[in-house]
């Protein structure tokens, strides 16, 4: 379906991944005049210089189409080159049915997405703190620039869910981006958070002939309430808590019980009808472990499959496990005996090389026969 200005979520993502907020971009003629007259703009001026931070605010709050073009040209040199970057990023995020041809969502037959893909893009975007802060802002004023010397460009959010003065206000809403074209009708990628649970809702093609006359906000509220009322985060396992206790082989008497701990916390968002007994793990653990074992050593892993999604964490040793003392003593004795044996061999070899035959009152005398020696002593003994 046509995503309209929800496209700008991807534009914001690439701006933050390729620029610094303080970077300055210059407004081109194409950035201004390629926007159809019926589309929203921020009254940007030719050769006006704005920071990326300023452009992001007018991109996401009032949905300025000229701002999207400025960002695209600043990063990629042209809107078409930027669209290629958008498609590459979409595939990286996991979108399989999305194709962008521009940076703002101006209608084009070849510019399309799906509710699921936009949910992935929205989820990715809301991991960025800058985007999170901007999309919950209800009012923004562009400062004086090199080409515009007044501060009368004041913008308000198009997202009624976050506007407390609107009759469509939803107290748990946190963003994200609306959209509208005649072909796309009313669109929104909305986010909300309640009691630690975060939801994302995408509506495309909602009824209503204008961006104002629409039921997309009411539909978001209905869907969010359904999600919060029927689903919640459940902690399957918590970091550094005990999975089980085992008795390693050859452990000392004082450390013969090993606490096997979860290395990480695993939380899942599931229907409230799930019971703890529904989470049956797959465990790979060497229960024939032998001491010594170092605290924190990985000794296995555990996995839970919930709604066809697999969650895995390592199992680690909760404390040091020392070897059995008797066993250690035997090993040490054997090592000492072996060391003494080697030392005696070395000593014996050294003595043989330096030892000379001596006899009391004797003299060493070379024999006249080759290779023979005679020892003459008072006893007149010869050999």
User: Which residues are known catalytic residues?
Assistant: 5, 8, 63
* Spatial contact of 176 and 190, defined as CB atoms under 8 Å apart: yes
Residue 276 DSSP code: G
What CA–CA distance (Å, rounded) separates 83 from 14?
10
Per DSSP, helices labelled H in the chain are 8-18, 29-33, 52-60, 65-76, 79-93, 115-125, 129-134, 216-230, 325-354
3-state secondary structure of 195: coil
Residue at token pair 């000492």: 336
Q: How far is CA 97 from the centre of its chain?
A: 24
What CA–CA distance (Å, rounded) separates 358 from 348?
19
Alpha carbon separation from 214 to 7, 173, 184, 195 (Å, rounded): 19, 18, 13, 29
Query: What residues contact residue 163 under an 8 Å CB cut-off, 6+ apart?
Result: 138, 156, 157, 169
* Spatial contact of 303 and 311, defined as CB atoms under 8 Å apart: yes
Residues 95, 61, 195, CA angle at the centre, nearest 5°? 70
Q: How far is CA 222 from the centre of its chain?
A: 31
Alpha carbon separation from 69 to 59, 153, 350, 365 (Å, rounded): 10, 18, 88, 110
What CA–CA distance (Å, rounded) separates 62 from 176?
12
* Spatial contact of 12 and 111, defined as CB atoms under 8 Å apart: no
DSSP E strands, 280-330: 282-285, 298-306, 309-317
What CA–CA distance (Å, rounded) separates 93 from 102?
18
């Amino acid at each position: 379906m046509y995503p309209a200005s929800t496209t700008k979520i991807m534009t914001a993502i690439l701006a933050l991944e390729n620029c610094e907020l303080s970077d300055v971009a210059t407004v081109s003629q194409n950035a201004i005049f390629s926007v159809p007259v019926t589309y929203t703009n921020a009254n940007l001026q030719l050769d006006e210089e704005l920071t990326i931070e300023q452009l992001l605010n007018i991109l996401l709050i009032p949905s300025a189409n000229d701002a999207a073009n400025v960002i695209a040209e600043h990063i990629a040199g042209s809107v078409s080159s930027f669209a290629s970057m958008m498609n590459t990023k979409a595939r990286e995020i996991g979108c399989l049915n999305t194709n962008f041809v521009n940076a703002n969502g101006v209608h084009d037959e070849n510019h399309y997405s799906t509710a699921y893909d936009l949910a992935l893009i929205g989820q990715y975007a809301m991991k960025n703190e800058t985007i999170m802060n901007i999309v919950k802002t209800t009012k923004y004023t562009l400062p004086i620039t090199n080409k515009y010397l007044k501060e009368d460009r004041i913008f308000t959010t198009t997202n009624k869910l976050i506007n407390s003065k609107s009759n469509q206000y939803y107290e748990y809403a946190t963003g994200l981006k609306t959209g509208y074209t005649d072909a796309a009708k009313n669109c929104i990628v909305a986010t909300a958070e309640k009691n630690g649970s975060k939801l994302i809702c995408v509506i495309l093609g909602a009824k209503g002939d204008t961006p104002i006359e629409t039921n997309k906000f009411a539909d978001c509220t209905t869907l969010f309430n359904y999600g919060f009322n029927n689903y919640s985060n459940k902690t399957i396992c918590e970091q550094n808590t005990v999975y089980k206790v085992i008795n390693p082989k050859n452990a000392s008497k004082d450390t013969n019980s090993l606490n096997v701990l979860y290395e990480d916390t695993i939380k899942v968002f599931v229907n409230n009808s799930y019971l703890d007994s529904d989470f049956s793990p797959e465990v790979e653990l060497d229960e024939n472990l032998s001491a010594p074992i170092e605290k924190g050593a990985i000794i296995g892993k555990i996995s839970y499959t919930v709604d066809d999604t697999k969650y895995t964490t390592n199992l680690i040793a909760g404390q040091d496990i020392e070897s059995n003392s008797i066993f250690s003593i035997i090993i040490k004795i054997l090592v000492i005996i072996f060391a003494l044996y080697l030392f005696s061999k070395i000593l014996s070899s050294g003595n043989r090389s330096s030892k000379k035959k001596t006899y009391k009152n004797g003299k060493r005398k070379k024999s006249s026969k080759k290779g023979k020696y005679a020892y003459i002593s008072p006893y007149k003994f010869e050999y």
